[in-house]
Structure 1
Amino acid sequence: MTVYNFSAGPSALPKSVLQEVQDEFLSYQKTGVSIVEMSHRSERFIAITEALEARLRRLMDISDDYAVLWLQGGATLQFSMIPMNLRTTGRFAYLDSGTWSKKAIADARHYGDVAVVGSSASSNYRELPDYEGDGETADYLHLTLNNTIEGTRYTMLPDTGIPLVADVSSNILAESIDVSRYGLLYAGAQKNIGPAGLSVVIIRRDLIVDRDLPSYLNYARHTDTVLNTPATFSMYVAERVLAWVERTGGVAEMERRNREKSARLYAYLDGSTLFRSLVTGDIRSLTNIPFTTGRDETDRAFQQFAEERGLIELGGHRSVGGLRASLYNAMPLEGVVRLVEVMQAFEQEGYDVSHQNI
């Protein structure tokens, strides 16, 4: 039985990449040394890091005006590093569109005055907030481009004269992003890039200032140098994943596939008499699709029903419950087709928590 992993992260990786990693795990390129025991300052590993950055720059069309930093601490550490490093006036503007932007706001408040210039909290984040235009004197405007938990997605950016900062953890490499529109982009790797333990920051060089901060927390200390031992295994796998994306057709092909996959699932949800999507309209995410039957017991019954048929990690985030399918780059169309088939079977059989007709 083929198993399809719909986890929101750590998420599925391309099977061909996993096979490649397995094949050379004990001896990287027949050197007799595993990648996990190789010096991060060796010529071989430096070649990996250079290829990783070069591939990301090609895939996202990142100009030399931007530095690419590979860091640890996930996207969560960036909730603090961003206000620490971009602080000039000490006033930061944020759009509150979901759980992760809410967490970013809370951390930024440790370093300055946060202006929430739009919030959709009153709708339980079922909508995206409008920019209220009160952030023009702030050091930057922060938004979460794709809300992993709530399943919403920005397609139009606020019109503002200050640097845009965006969390792109769940849509990086999954759809086209015009890097030149932003002052800084950041992402955890564990969705579309590689294993957990790695994050990437793409920052316009004129925003990098050598500040009086602890060394690791200072962006300037990571520019064009390796400050400490990085997440070597995660970087190695990430380089192989990006090579796979390039071979497969690049970000344009990833976006085409993600649109096809999400359209297939949304079409079923919109016509179902049991399941329903939690997001409507043109703000629907391409990569994270929350849905429900409307009953917690039936949601749990379906999750078990699906697991018995090889579809795993369909539970919603612990903070909101329900169900969620994450359709990142490594999820094939066949996985979505199978999910729809299983949902149809569950709906037709009328299962509830007791496996009795509902």
Structure 2
Amino acid sequence: MTAYSFAAGPARLPDAVLERARDELFVRGVDGAATLERPFTGDAFRATLAHARERLATLLDLPPGYRILFLAGGAMHQFSLLPMNLLGTARCAAYADSGYWSQRAIDEARRYTEVVIAARYIGATPLAAPTTGRWHLPQGCAYCHITPNETVDGLAYPELPHTGAVPLVADATSCFLATPLDVTRFGLIYASAQKNLGIAGLTVLVVRDELLGRVAPHVPTAFSYRIQAQQDSTYNTPPTAAIHVAALVFDWIADNGGLTALAAANRRKAEGIYRVIDGSGGVYTAPVVPAHRSVTNIRFHLGDTALTERFVAEAEAHGLHHLRGHPRIGGLRASLYNAMPDAGASALAEFMADFARRNG
């Protein structure tokens, strides 16, 4: 029996990436060092860093005028670093409230600046993302932040808002590289690696050059986007292991048809599970409006909540692991990042259908 992890993160890596990592990263070379042990100032790591950047730029069809940064830490670090680096002389920043992670970002930003709520999600069941269209933002607003895929809430924006001259900033941690993306719509995109990019400890930023001049004078040098851009993400020791793995993941994405092919595969995996939920006669419920459902993080509940523990136990016995929902909201959640194969999603859908027949 093949086992599958549906954890929200750290998430599954592609099997081919695990094999390459074993063969390329953990073997000592003629210099007595494994790849992961070589200095970040040396030619070998610099070549890996350049390859990762070039491969990612190709996958994104990155236009001129943007930089790719590979920074230590997770997306939560950026909740503080964004206002430090992007406020400039502005008096406020705008944030859209779409659920748990956007609320965490809002709370942190309020430590540094006035926060204007640009839009709110519909918090009563069924959930829906904030209404998009053209958002009217106050004069002097530094940027507008969105979380296009809410990992906890299982909710995703069906389209991007229009913010006019105000740069759009996105925490794309759960959906980055899961589908093609028009980078020109954004001033800055950031994403932790442990969902679709590799292993924890790395955050990737894609930032418009013109925004790099806004950093506040008091920002610690290692946290300055401008300094890190000038120093090729190596002002301080970068998370070398995570960057090596990310480079392998970028190769895997390219070898498997790029973002268009992954988007089709991800949609197919999610549709199979949502089909079981919607056809279960109420054994399962999905609390999000269908057009706003996340393809990446499928949130659902049992109509009879007393069956939740039985569901989890039986799923694990079938090799289907880490299906509990976030502690804040309970229920169940299946995260289907890029590396989840069709066979894993199908195994979960088949188990869910059988469980519904036996308990409906």
Question: So what's the TM-score if we normalise by structure 2?
Answer: 0.93
Note if 1:24 corresponds to 2:19.
Answer: no
Give the Cα separation in 1 of the matches to 2:80 and 2:179: 26
* Separation (CA, whole Å) in 2 of partners of 1:333 and 1:104: 33
Q: After the TM superposition, which of the residue ranges 183-192 and 206-215 deviates more from structure 2? A: 206-215
Asked whether the 8 Å contact 2:68–2:205 carries over to 1, the reply is yes
Q: 288-297 vs 180-189, which deviates more?
A: 288-297
Helix, strand or coil: the match of 1:69?
strand
Instruction: Classify 1:121/1:279 alpha carbon distance in 2 versus 1 (closer, same or farther; 3 Å).
Output: closer
Q: Distance in 2 between matches of 1:281 and 1:223?
A: 40
Counterpart residue number, 1:139: 142
Residue 302 (structure 2) pairs with residue 293 (structure 1): yes
CA contact under 8 A between 2:125 and 2:288: conserved in structure 1?
Answer: no
Structure 2 counterpart of 1:93: 94
Per mean C-alpha deviation after superposition, the further-off stretch among 7-16 and 206-215 is: 206-215
Moved more, 81-90 or 91-100: 81-90
Query: Where does the alignment leave 5 or more consecutive residues of structure 2 unmatched?
Result: none
CA shift at 1:93, angstroms? 0.6
Cα contact 1:85–1:218 (8 A) shared by 2: yes
| Partner AA of 1:76 in structure 2 | M
CA RMSD of aligned residues (A): 1.7
Partner of 1:355: none
User: Match of 1:354?
Assistant: none
Residue-by-residue CA offset, 1:42-69 (whole Å, 9 max, x unaligned): 1111110000000110001112311111
Which segments of 5 or more consecutive residues in structure 1 lack a partner in the other structure? 351-357
Identify the residue that residue 174 of structure 1 maps to in structure 2. Answer: 178
Aligned in 2, Cα 1:206/1:60: closer, same or farther, shift over 3 Å?
same
Aligned to 2:336: 327
Q: How many residues align?
A: 351
Rounded Cα–Cα distance in structure 1 between residues aligned with 2:185 and 2:290: 24
Q: Distance in 1 between matches of 2:277 and 2:176?
A: 25
Tell me the secondary structure at the aligned position of residue 40 of structure 2.
coil
SS in 2 for 1:262: helix
Greater alpha carbon shift after TM alignment, 211-220 vs 92-101: 211-220
4+ runs of 1 displaced by more than 4 Å? 28-32
Matching residue of 1:222: 228
The alignment status of 1:349 with 2:334, answered yes or no, reads: no
Q: Is the 8 A contact 1:98 1:125 kept in 2?
A: no
Maintained 8 Å contact 2:126/2:287: no
Code of the residue aligned with 2:98 in structure 1: it is S
Residue 206 of structure 1 deviates from its aligned partner by 0.3
Distance 1:221 1:346, change over 3 A: same
Contact 2:26/2:36 (<8 A) preserved = no
8 Å CA contact 1:96, 1:102 repeated in 2 = yes
**1:312 corresponds to which residue?**
321
Verify: 1:339 aligned to 2:348, yes or no.
Answer: yes
Query: What is the one-letter code of the residue matched to 1:47?
Result: A
- Aligned residue for 1:48, secondary structure, equals helix
Letter in 1 for 2:275: A
1:295 Cα offset (Å): 3.7
* 1:153 aligned onto 2:156: yes
Shift of the 66–28 alpha-carbon distance from structure 1 to 2, 3 Å rule, reads farther
Q: Deviations over 1:255-295 (max 9, x none)?
A: 01001111111111110121122222211111110011034
Tell me how far 1:296 sits from its aligned partner: 3.5
The one-letter code sitting in structure 1 at the alignment partner of 2:248 is R
Aligned partner (choices 260, 270, 274) of residue 266 of structure 1: 274
2:256 corresponds in structure 1 to: 248
Deviation, structure 1 residue 148: 0.9
Shift of 1:247: 0.3
Give the letter for the 1:249 counterpart: G
Seen in structure 2, the aligned counterparts of structure 1 residues 30 and 192 have a Cα distance that, compared at 3 Å, is farther
Q: Secondary structure at the residue paired with 2:230?
A: coil
> Residue 154 of structure 1: CA displacement?
1.3
Q: Distance in 2 between matches of 1:104 and 1:260?
A: 31
* Cα distance in 1 for residues equivalent to 2:125 and 2:136: 23
Residue of structure 2 equivalent to 1:185: 189
2-side partners of 1:157 and 1:12: how far apart?
Answer: 28
CA shift for structure 1 position 125: 8.3
- Identity among equivalent positions (%) equals 39
